[in-house]
Amino acid sequence: MTEVQRAELNIQKQLSTIKDNKVCADDKLLLNYVNEKQTEYESFSNPEQLFKLEKELKDIAASVSSKEVIAVKTSIDDMRSQPHSRWLSHHNRRNTRAAAVEQALCLTKLEDRGSVLSSSEANPVQESLAAHGWLKIVRKTSAGGIDLAHASHWYKKTLEASKETKQLSTVGIFPC
């Protein structure tokens, strides 16, 4: 197998990995990116362009399949699948929070998704997870991060889960 063939196989595998890690069915950023890179890949004639695209896709695949993204997606699923309480409003708030977190993650740049929880500066995903109650109150530290002492249990639970979750393997699919 030549280097060019190996790169082509890796590109196809990385595109598939990226597509498989969409946050929701309507993850426009991710789907547009995959379509754009697929078109770009089909138009390449220079091996150097191919190798550059392979590296870029490897980085994006690692970001969208990171342990932090997995933890956030698991929390979204947990929010939606918790048993109904006897008060419908509790269930509706969990669904509303899940939708807000999902939307925030969908709007996050692909390259930034891998550090969506570990970012020291608060981002929309962290704020959606950390918000309390109907008013969606989020307390921040003086440095601009989420104040863990006043964050919701969903934020704390997701943060802890991100440290325990294993990252999906995207590195070294076809060794050099």
* DSSP-derived secondary structure letter, 12: H
For the whole model, what pTM was predicted?
Answer: 0.84
pLDDT in tens, 34-75: 999 999 999 988 999 999 999 999 999 999 999 999 999 999
59/162 Cα distance (integer angstroms): 19
pLDDT computed for residue 88 by the predictor: 54
Residue 98 host element (H or E): helix 88-106
Does residue 109 carry a pLDDT above 90?
A: yes
* DSSP-derived secondary structure letter, 116: T
